[in-house]
Structure 1
Amino acid sequence: MSNRFIGWILAIAVAAAAPLPSPKAATHVMPQSDSEALQYHDIVMLLLLPQIDKAVGAQYASTLKEPPIVYPYYIDVTHLERVNGFRGFQFRITIEVYPVVGPHLTVGKDRLEFEIAPDMANGTAKLLDFKHLETHELPSHWQHVLK
């Protein structure tokens, strides 16, 4: 066999073994460098993450054996507003999350709306709304996580 033929066989084998990108990977642009704005975004997402995980876990409890994971870099802010005017400290933030199982296989897309203010009873953030937007099909070798 020629080296060229073996090279083609290896290239095809590597391509076939590579995991298919999740629907999330096709729609979400990952930042390529750090910035101050990205750092603020990441800090806010980390602070909201416990409430995000709780809401997402409840959403998928009827379909998955274990709760999916929401990574801060799979969270997009779609709307942010200062509710009570300039220098007021009451905010509404709407985010879209892409929960995953296993090797970052997205199971869906969800929209959450939070109110953030210093006088919230449970700290500083309250979940106002949760909408399940999409259900993503898992590959056949990950069907075991479904109920």
Structure 2
Amino acid sequence: MKCHWFLSGFMSLFLLFPFPTYAEEDYYQPPERSKEELVMDLFLSLLLPDIQNAVNHYYAEYLTVNPLVYPYQIKILNMERTNHYRGYIFSVTVEVTPVVGPHNPVGMDHLTFTITPGNVKLEKFQHIKTYELPPNWQDIVKKKY
């Protein structure tokens, strides 16, 4: 019986006094089915061709097929105006996970774009992580990346 009370008290301490975490918070996600979510999905849909082109260019050296990036696999890491309030020069950094076949991830990449009215320019492509493909997909690998 003493053990039960001790464990209950000990567990209560964890609930009452949370430990600090140093993990980065995810970028803001709008409420589901909101107009904000609609605008964010529209924005990612418009940016997707530029993301796909950058991914195709990078992986062409390593794979015989172009991996695909799906809009729901794009995570916004940072988005900001780079000039004054209501200025229309933006910097956007996204994280993507390109896939081949039945959603086999090939890597994780960070892409930074400068966006101005009518123009999207890739500023930086950073390959973060490589995922090993299953044995039946090894034939598309030209060289290790």
| TM-score of the alignment, normalized to the shorter chain, above 0.5 | yes
SS of 2:64's equivalent in the other structure is coil
Moved over 6 A (4+): none
* Structure 1 position 41, deviation (Å): 1.7
Q: Counterparts of 1:1-147 in structure 2 under 5 Å?
A: 33-118=32-117, 123-147=118-142
Q: 1:55 to 1:81 in 2, by over 3 A?
A: same
- The residue that corresponds to 1:20 in the other structure is none
* Structure 1 position 81, deviation (Å): 0.7
Q: Take 1:34 and 1:136, find their aligned partners in 2: how far apart are those partners?
A: 33
Q: 1:137 to 1:124 in 2, by over 3 A?
A: same
Q: Take 1:100 and 1:38, find their aligned partners in 2: how far apart are those partners?
A: 24
Q: Return 37-46 or 50-59, whichever deviates more.
A: 37-46
**RMSD of aligned alpha carbons:** 1.7
Q: Take 1:35 and 1:98, find their aligned partners in 2: how far apart are those partners?
A: 25
Identity %: 47
With structure 2 as the length reference, what TM-score do the two structures score?
0.72
* Structure 1 position 50, deviation (Å): 1.3
- Specify the code of the residue in structure 1 equivalent to 2:136: H
List gaps (5 residues or longer) in structure 2: 1-29
Q: Take 1:79 and 1:49, find their aligned partners in 2: how far apart are those partners?
A: 16
List gaps (5 residues or longer) in structure 1: 1-30
Q: Take 2:92 and 2:31, find their aligned partners in 1: how far apart are those partners?
A: 24
Q: Take 2:133 and 2:34, find their aligned partners in 1: how far apart are those partners?
A: 34
* Structure 1 position 36, deviation (Å): 2.2
Q: Take 1:56 and 1:71, find their aligned partners in 2: how far apart are those partners?
A: 12
Count residues with an aligned counterpart: 113
Q: Take 2:132 and 2:34, find their aligned partners in 1: how far apart are those partners?
A: 34
- Specify the code of the residue in structure 1 equivalent to 2:134: P
With structure 1 as the length reference, what TM-score do the two structures score?
0.71
Q: 1:103 to 1:116 in 2, by over 3 A?
A: same
